[in-house]
Amino acid sequence: GESGHTPAAGTGRAGAAFAAAQSKLGSPYQWSHAGPSTFDCSGLTSWAYAQANVSIPRTSEAQATIGTRIYSQSQLQVGDLVFFFNDIHHVGLYAGNGQVLHAPRSGTVVRYESMSTIGGPFMFGVRV
């Protein structure tokens, strides 16, 4: 494997989900779509985990209620769900190095983005 590419390669379910999401880089954002060719934010995360044979809820708000919460950004691992904004209406997959793999908003495509430029505060992560 590559060395030094990400601080911690995703392992197990999270790694499989992250790899699935990576295969959708460049796919268009479409509200309320959960793949396989267009996605909204929680559609991408739920589709990605489904490829890892893990069923998670469809909406970001519901996804925030599962798994183990991680409040320290330094504890996040690749593939963890990461939630933004006070009403947790946005979710992505942690990509390492302070980056998120996500479907940002209408008019964009699935892409990497720095957590600092999402536009809302990082609230917490969830390890599924």
Active site residue 33: no
Active site residue 90: yes
Stated as kind and residue range, the H or E segment containing 13 is helix 12-22
**First-last CA distance in the chain:** 24
Q: What would the DSSP string read from start to end of 45-85?
A: HHHHHHHTT----SSHHHHTTSSEEE--GGG--TT-EEEES
Q: Are 45 and 56 in contact (CB under 8 A)?
A: yes
Active site residue 89: no
Give the catalytic positions in this structure: 41, 90, 102
